[in-house]
Amino acid sequence: MKQEDINYIPPQSVVERARVFILRTVWHSELTQAMENEARVELRLLRFPEEKTHTLIAPGAFELVHLSGVVARLYAWKRGFSQIVSVRGPTQIQSNLRLPPFFQGNFDSQLRSEFLLDSPGPIGYLQPYEPTSSSDELPIIITMGCILKGETEHNRYLAHAVLHQLAYLSATTGIPIIMGILTPDTLPQAWERVVQAKAWVKSGFLVWESRLTIDKIFGQKETS
């Protein structure tokens, strides 16, 4: 098998702000441990602090979705809000009060009002994570697992469900979730691809560098 690597070295400004979460499965634990080892080798080459690398273990690939969601919500889940709500537009008012004839019955009016919607908690909602300060963390989630082909179609349905949900979480939470879940026909094929974990690490940093570039292009400058 031809191995491909990402020809990329992340800038130190991104490396210093990152926090890496390695999520791997118990299933095929020797394989996923080897993947993690390769990822940590790459992180050491980048002089990434070990205390900012966290490993979380899931039973299988399906449960990686749950753990990824939990980690992503640490950054994307907002509690409480305060917002000025403005209401403008036509409305219909019906009155059965004893009013002068002009005001009785149905009539149209223009409603214009503003009010403060304020909730200190416990209301919570998902808000895509956007670092607004140059000191804000840049979290990276790397999922590691192996959905091996079997005698039935189970692997196809499982892979479709897991990959679809991880892609959805990555898009909606604003947290890069790197896909390190292999879908080989055989275990030897999977072992040939363990070294790709180094590229998964680089991918996480590259996504954040591109994200910060987008902010600069559209004038969303971070504050120090």
Structure tokens at 20: 């890496």
Find residue 197's DSSP bridge partners: none
Active site residue 28: no
The catalytically annotated residue of 28, 54, 66, 154 is: 154
Reported for 7-15, long-range contacts at CB under 8 A and 24+ positions apart, including other chains, are: 8/202, 8/205, 8/206, 10/46, 10/202, 10/205, 10/206, 10/209, 11/209, 14/138, 14/205, 14/208, 14/209, 14/212, 15/46, 15/47, 15/48, 15/205
3-state SS of 181-201? EECCCCHHHHHHCHHHHHHHH
The CA angle 142-148-153, to the nearest 5 degrees, is 120
Q: Which residues are catalytic?
A: 154
